[in-house]
Amino acid sequence: MNTGAPLLGVLGHPIGHSQSPTLFADILKRAGRTEISYRAFDLPDIQHFPDLVAQHPNLAGLNVTVPHKRSILPILSDLSEAAQALGAVNTLVRQGDGWVGHNTDVWGFQRSIQPFLANRHERALVLGTGGSAAAVHHVLASLGIDALGVSRQGNSTAGTVAYGRPALGYDELNAFVLKHHLLVVHCTPVGMHPQDHEMVPFPTSFLTPDHLVVDLIYNPAETRLLKEAKRQGAHALNGADMLRLQAEKAWEIWSQSGI
């Protein structure tokens, strides 16, 4: 049972890059809930989640980031409709002795990308096959955008099962594929601080000014992928707005739960 003032936090590994504590400090201040604390929890192995909960009996809600958006599912007692449909969570609410998983990535991604979409963005390439990619595929499908997954494994089991269709390998991307997919969304942690110099093996030389390249990473604000995309004249968008919007939705869920 929770004791003391509620504790919120973000769970992931590594977690030092996360801007969520700063973001939620502002959200909590604006809500007049300064008695609530928000912390970052670095958890390499999700099997240790029950130990973390036992150590913090006042833990009432959590954001979940890579690599635990999928791996934590067996530990949860219930899922929201969206989380169940996606097979991934990014927000948890403690209810009694269990945890309920929600997904606010869908909310955040859709509202962050819609102002930048044009009629030409009718087909997309989604780089990655994790929990964030699942949310992106869900949003693009709802917007009528035909999305094709891209992964290091190519036509992988993960891509086929999660999205109902094969995924391309990076080595299969060429000028023809890029010409017909003018929206690119990067959903992996490659290039995240402090590995700012890294980038997935995406052929940026085929990008044009008609392309919109979205990187869900927000730290650094401009990843190597976005820098190279801009050199080709493509429009570039990072994940800062998505982070803010999904966080505000998470706070709404927590508030409605009685936190």
Q: Give which of 203, 144, 153, 145 is closest to 177, Cα–Cα.
A: 203
Task: Count other C-beta atoms under 10 Å from residue 43's C-beta.
Answer: 18
213 has which bridge partners? 184, 236
Q: State both tokens at 252.
A: 């709404």
Catalytic residue numbers?
69
